[in-house]
Structure 1
Amino acid sequence: MPINARAQQENARQAALVQAGALDGQETAAVEFILQCGFADARLIAAAHINSQSLQEQVRSAMRNTDRRVARLMQGKIEAGMQLAQCEQRAQQCLEQARRLVVDPQLMPNQVADLDRVWAAIQVPVGQTRQKFETVRAALHSRLACQVELQRALIDALARLREVTSALDGVPSDVGVCAGIIDELALTLEQHVAAPEVPALPKHLLSSFLQEMDIARQKLAVQQRQSVLSASATNEIRTSSGAAPAANDESDLGADFQDAAQAALTAMPVMTAAKIAIPDLTATPQVAMDSITIAQLQELTQRFAEALDGMEKALEQGLLQVACEHDKALRAIDAKLCKPSAAQVPRLTMARMELAHLMSWARWGGNVSREELLKTAEELPLQKLQLAELGKKIGSLRERWKSLDVSAGVSSRELWHRFDAACNSAYEPVAAHFRELAEERLQNAVKAQVLLGQLSSLSVASQDAVEIDWKGVAQQCQRMQQAWQRLGTIERKEKKRLDAEFATALSVLADPLARQRAAAIERRERLIADASEIRADDRTAPEALRALQASWQEQSLFLPLERRDEQALWMRFRAACDAVFAKRKETAQAAEVDRHQNLQQKEAICAGLEAAAVVSPAALGTMGKALREFQNGWSQTGYVPRAVEQQLIQRFDAAVAVLQQRIDALKRAAQTSEIDALQRKLSLCQAVEVAIAQVPQPQLDKGWSAEWSEQAPLAAYLERALQMRFSAALAALAASDITYAATLIDNRAQLGQELLRLEILLGCDSPAELSRERLQMQVEVLQSSLRAGQKQITQQEQLVTLCALPAATDAKSTQRIADLLQKMKSGD
């Protein structure tokens, strides 16, 4: 390409890169640029500016076969966008769930925990959704904190109420203080009940508090009644005795009595006339004066006295209705027939004055109380109470209205109609709820009939017991029982009938299942007995236990037993297996002690081997013996702990290898020294034999004997053969024995044969001209080795034969002997 064309193309490329970089925020222009641009780098830069999914798909489709880098970039952006959209969708779902939980009256901590766990699994980027969720989650956590505080406050109040109840069991120091605390706790309960987090409280907490409050009020009423009675008795004693107490004592005592009486009138529970036996004096017939008898007169007098006493006691206890009944009884008695005594007249007058006074106060207080009850009933629909609490509240209001009729007289009809209408209006949600419950009971009865139909269709009577899936039968029985228990409430009569039918239908499956489970229990008992009979010292005990455990698991899968039976049998089976394993563990611990002792012995052997490897070369004979003793001791010593077994074996092998190398090195050194001495002595023999063959003969002895004596002794078999050859050669030299010289020359051929045989035995090369003879001799050696009873010639025997053979040697034979000795020295 010409230089100008390349420069123009480079300039166009740079311009395209600049243009691609300037397309940030211009997605449509970037798409058009990519579609018409011819530079891959510029297209890639422009593709980075495309964020719209539709445009990304358009570019990916266009560049799929043109520019794979741009196509991959678009594919990655599309997948990232889809993943982000999925995360956003899941985050929105979590946010909606969180918002539902915020307005849920019964918020539970596990719901918030599950919500947090789901949210943590979503990779939500920082944004508006995360901020909204954190805001809603903060509200949820605030509600949970309020629940904790409310529950803690109710628990503390209940503890304080129980302390007051315990104090009222004895003789409290101040009944008024206890009454004030109970009223304060009642007010606290009303405040807590009005809290928005009440539905999330434990169900037993409020019921326990209300029950404890009723017990406390009953005990307080008993204490107040006893205080009033005690004060009345004290006043009577003072009146009858006529003693005038001191002014300060009287004022203090009067104040105490007034407080006790006021507390009794305000806090004592109202008792109806039906709870106290009142003599029906109003039914006494009018008797003529002239026809009355003494017995009848005495009966009227007794009734008058009893009615007066009952009226006074009722006034003391604040029971106005009872006092009014007694007053009616007194007025029904004819004063002409039964005149009160002088002592009874002032008592009757004071009682009626007190009755009139209390009746006026009761009517006023009753009207005020009725107005408060009416106001409370009208406000009930606005309090958003739970249905159960609303029903109890309405019932309590009606009971209090009835009690006011007894203690304060009957109210006006208009006020009663207003109160009754307000209660009926507030009770409408409860009535609707009860109607729903009735409808639900009917639906539950229909569901029960459906379950009975399904259960009746299941039967195992016509099937073989071996072919039946008893596990499935057990699961069906369990599912049916659970479904029956989850049916909900049913009318009592229907419930009794349906339960009987269900029990009858279930017995069709349950009875065969019970028989199979009884047989399965017997099989499990046999497995337990088999496990108990296994001996711990048996090597096959673990395999036998594993086989029993596998059989147990197989039977458990085939037919599961009742949970309590399964658990009890499994505990016994596991105890039997654990007993065997525990016994084996004890045996293993004893073996472990032996292993540690063996470890010490083997460590001592390793230390001895390591010390024997550094002895002097003079102890070569003892080193081999020591090595054998150490090896025998190692093989005779038992096992060591598994943790150090491999390490100890490596140490022993290393020490044996070092000592063996030391022994081999010393042996090689001794062998080398011996072969050197052999070579020198053989050279002396050859030198003497060469001197014998010379004419004229040289000097008889050139110091060969002295040099021979200076050489180190050889092995006995070599020393004997060379000594005889050397001595014979010296003797022949001294005697100028021509025959010996001829023998030397004649033995040359035999020397060649012996050299050839030794070369074959040592694996040395022979001269090329002797290859034929070597092959022939190798065949002979092989044939001799194959003959039965033929003794093979060893290298040592062949060397002795060579050394003992006197023969004249030339330079070639001398070199061959030297090569053989060098071969023996190297040990190859």
Structure 2
Amino acid sequence: MAQEVSPVTPATLKTNDTRALDALTGGAFSAPTSGERTARVREWLAANPSVEQMQEVFRELSARDKGAARLLREKLDEIKRNRGQEVIAAEWAEKATALLALPKLNIADAMAWQRDAAKAGAPLSREPLASVKTQLAERVRGIEDLQHRVQVQREAAVLLAQRIEVLSTKSWQDAQAALDALGKDVPDWQGQAEALLADPNWPSVDGRFPPLLESSRTQLQVVWESFRSAVAQARAAAEDPAAALPPVPVWADELRAARGVPVEAAPAKAAKPKVDPEVRERASHAVRDALAKLEQEVAQGHGKASAGAANALRNALKEHGKLVDDKLENQAHAALAAAGELEGWQRWRADQLRQELVTKAEALFEHPAPVEGQEPQPPKPRYGGRKMQEQLRALREQWKQTDQGGAPNHALWKRFDEACNEAYKVVEAWLDKVKAEAAEHKAQRLALIDEVRVWAAANATAKDDDWKGFARVLHQFESRWRDAGHLSEKTFAELQPRWKEAIAAAWDPLEAVQKQSLERRHAMIEEAKVLGAAPQMRIDAVKSLQQRWQGEAQAIPLDRKHEQKLWDAFRKPIDEAFNRKSEEREKAAAALSERDRAVLEASKALEAANATGDAPKIKAAMTALEAALRGQAQAQAAAAAAQEAAPAESAAPAGTAEAAAEGTETTEPAEATEATEAAAAEPAPTPKPTPKPVIAMRGDDRPGMKKTEPAPARGKFGDRKGGPGGGKFGDRRDERGRFGDRGDRGEREDRGPRLGDVAFRAQRDALDHAQAALKKLAAQAHGEALTQLITAWEQRNPEQVPSAHDLGKSVGPAGRAAWVKSLQGAPAGDASEALLRLEIAAETPTPAEQLEARRALQLKLLTRRNDPSPAQTWADDAAQVFASGHEGSKSRRLQAALKVLLRR
């Protein structure tokens, strides 16, 4: 019987592959936990499997355990990166080999190779680039060393020439003695120069160095040959008097003196002819300008510019040399000498400037100081991306200017370029970030433009006529556009027209409604002008117009500045009309009545008393102000005027008596006398006492009822049975009358005319200030009295107990006498229960350790219902405390309780 073959499916193949991979990785797929799978994958990777196997395992394992597959992904990325670096390394190694094979190597090309290779990501620290990099560095170092030796040889040639020149100023015998030493030094210098020319790196030397060496070599050879021939001629002239004298003036004079021939005096220098001062001034000015320009270029180290300035100064001297004075001519020659030296040795000055730039470039990073026991920290950039970019641009621009004024220095350039490249990494990271942000901002703005267009198409009018909400949404769109981030000028110029078109289309419905609203508002402004110009102000019309304006303003929003201008134009005529009414009202109220003046004067007097802080004065001033408010001051003034007028009126009856004796009847004066006597006998109106403030009390406080008795119970519907007005539903017609009149209550007090605004505010403020001052003074007096009382207890001194007036109305004379008696004897008794009673009476907190005792005392008081409460016997309890000894804790508890009780 044939065996049945199971069908082959993708799931079966995948299961078989998984088993094979599990066996290949040592059980990475069958491990129960992620940590075990990661460990087995790490062990398998240590055996260096092939890339294909790792890719297959990663493909299957990444769907099961991403944590374990991370090791495979990192390993595959590393292999991929290494392969890419190998290709790059081979490419740059080939370029370096080609550079090394050149007979003439340019140092700048070698440095540029290293910089470009680092930017391309080539692994310079690994072979073969590491060895090639070393070879290039050694080749560059050899070239720079050879160039340095050329400069040294040139300086040595200058020194040898100076030695020969100095010997020409001395005796010819000294020169003859130094001839042998010079005969050895000059050939040695020639041999060293030949060695430089034979160096393999000589073809790679900068093109300016071979001419320098050749000129030094030729000049030294000429000077040496001339010196040897002059010495030989001087020796011959010394041996043979008939021989020719040497061309050296010092030696010729010495030989003439040896032969006995007199030395000829040097001819006197001919005086310069007189020249016109103006011509001489112009010549001096031209030479000074050229000299100043040359000195400036020399000071800045510009070799090329100094050469042109030197030529200009030479031409000026050729043209005006005979017209300038000796001092200016010497300055010009000294400047030309300095310029000549700068042309030959300008590298020194340029190197100084380059060294400063290198220092600045290396200072763009902060290097933290090393700490013992810790790893060295990487350098930190001093500036951010934009600031670093500006610094690098400035430094590179200064380096270019320095290269224009002097010969290049590749060693310093290498250091400078490395420092700038390291700093440019910060700029690159910043630029990448800026580019990413710019792309994101552009996407946001494009999305916002599309959103505005969609919204404008869906909102052709405001929903529910909410135009303010419509404008609010548009303003939110504009705010989002302003806050959408930075864009480049080019991108912003592309997006701005599209945004304006979209937002303008969204604003169109609101602008149409705003145009109609403007027409309505201008019409209301004209109505306001008509109302304001009317002789009689119509308040109802003004209110109606203002309500219409407010409704229009709340419904249709406008630009804030424009809306404010319209509101000002609308409000102006109405305000002017109201101002006219106010002016008329103020004119009417300008003349204060006699009562207002009296109130103002009394208010000022009360304010002055408040400033003194004297309670009696304040109370007296308050009484005077209340009298002025009730018009009593005017009544008293009228009574005084009547008393003054009484003597004048009493003279009239005497005259009438005389007339009666003469037979004339006069009855009217007698009646006037009786009226005057009656007015004099009438007493002056007495001021009414100040009404006492109403105090809420328990019990029935209705008229005719006892306050100590409780109010009667209410009926079913709240009517009061048995009391006055106890009718149905609390009807009180017997007291008030039918329509709420007050029945038998007296007439309200006639308070006179109302006070003016100024007088009313003045008296109100004065009274408020007076009450506050009295309250403050009372609090101060209470505190002083309490402190004095505690001090009397501490010192056992009855004389220091405050008076009954200072203690207040809550302590009677009997209570104060008990306190004085308690302080007269020696301390005795326990006052713990008395203190607890005082704290219960004052409702002040008790210390934690005395809480149990206080609860026990409260239970005890509940069982003694007929005993007086602590609130009634607190004065006696205080006397019991004063009879005991003084302690700090007891003093604080007593002071806290008395502080409350003395104010009641």
Give TM class, smaller chain. Answer: 0.3 to 0.5
Q: Could you state the TM-score of these two structures normalised by the residue count of structure 2?
A: 0.31
Q: Which has the higher helix share?
A: 1
